[in-house]
Amino acid sequence: MSRPFRVAVAGAGYFAQFHLEAWKRLQAEGLVELVGLAEPDETRRGSAVDTFGPGRAFGDVGSMLDALRPDILDIATPPPTHFAMVRLAAEYRAACISQKPLAPTFNEASEMVAFAESTGTRLVVHENFRWMPWYREMRRALDQGLLGTPHTISVRMRPGDGQGHDAYLGRQPYFQKMERFLVHETIIHFVDTFRFLFGELTSVSARLRKMNPVIAGEDAGYIMLEFASGATALIDANRSNDHSAGNTRLTMGEHWLEGSAGVMRLSGDGALFWKPHLQAERPHPYAWCNRNFSGDCVYEQQKHIVQTLANGLTPVNTGRDYLANYAIEEAIYQSDRERRTVAMPGCG
């Protein structure tokens, strides 16, 4: 494409602010033209325009698409609205970037992907965790052989935002009403990221529970993932407790990446440490930018998407690719429900 992609955004809620700020920078770099925003809530619509100046504001997505005819629709609305947005985008031949969860259920997500493919609509999932700089550095360390033979990754997820009657209300109030919460909304990020680091899975085991009685879904649990390589991942998660960090949601918790040659540790403040086997731990320097959301991962993902599309390539995490994460999510809930390990045929 000889001109920058014309991008329109659907939604001006909490997380849309990060999308918009990243699009503004990409616009300044000449990669996109941010042409409009659709948001039914008048207050949020006005606030977003005042803050980010996307150009034009509309009360509904259909009117925006009809007036602006963008190349890309960035869908930053709650999951139940995503399929309708993709249908509208298909009418105007716009590519879609959809926030995760892609849809409320695996079946609806599968239908959405099939619809996009049948209409020739490019569908990419906004799954930004794998673009966080600490995970990119872990991937580089693995590729360089620093860890030796990798065998384990573990995380203690402790954002500390889930206690009390007002949990999540100030940021994303629909969290309280999600019948599937911790895994569907948050752990799916780690599933995708650990696949990025370790490859495909062969089985999952899970025990989930609800600690805050005011919410509908689970908010704590233990999950073990087994990979075809023989490596394992252990996710020890609850949203009630916090951890030692200036921003407890920066990394969401502490991580340990282990291999035959030693252990790489991620602190809650984004610092990496390397402990060679039987030696003292030392800092592992790497460059990253503490900007936007969690190390500027939103900007990095959006830049990747527009650059790959501009070059006629396929971005990471198309709708079809992302269904593998959904299948793993379903297996996690099945494992908890049936109290057994669930094999992952088709993912191994």
Q: Give the percent of the chain with pLDDT over 70.
A: 97
Backbone φ, ψ for residue 163 (5° rounding): -95, 150
- pLDDT(189) > 90: yes
Query: Residue 79 and residue 193: Cα distance in Å, rounded?
Result: 20
**Can you read off the two tokens belonging to residue 17?**
């602010």
- Residue 164 in tokens: 């009390």
pLDDT for 290-315, tens place per residue? 999 999 999 999 999 999 999 999 99
State yes or no: pLDDT of 174 exceeds 80: yes
Q: What is the spatial distance between Cα 242 and Cα 268, in angstroms, rounded to a whole number?
A: 10
Q: For position 346, what pLDDT does the model report?
A: 65
pLDDT of residue 49: 66
- Give residue-wise pLDDT tens across range 73-119: 999 999 999 999 999 999 999 999 999 999 999 999 999 999 999 99
DSSP string, 171-224: T-GGGGG-SS-IIIIIIHHHHHHHHHHH--EEEEEEEEE---TTSSS--EEEEE
Average pLDDT over residues 245-254: 95
Digit-coded pLDDT (tens) for 14-57: 999 999 999 999 999 999 999 999 999 988 887 766 655 556 88
Reply yes or no on whether the pLDDT at 138 is more than 80.
yes
* pLDDT at position 348: 41
Burial class from Cβ neighbours inside 10 Å (0-12, 13-18, 19+) for residue 3 reads: exposed
pLDDT of 194-219, one tens digit each? 999 999 999 999 999 999 999 999 99
Tell me 4's DSSP state.
P
Q: Which of 152-156, 159-163, 344-348 has the least mean pLDDT? A: 344-348
pLDDT at position 143: 98
Domains annotated on the chain, with CATH: 5-126+299-316 (3.40.50.720), 130-286+325-343 (3.30.360.10)
Order of strands across the sheet with 262-266? 282-283, 272-276, 262-266, 253-259, 150-157, 232-238, 220-227, 201-209, 342-343
Q: What is the mean pLDDT of the chain?
A: 95
Predicted confidence band of residue 220 (pLDDT cuts 50, 70, 90): very high
Length of the chain in terms of residues written = 348
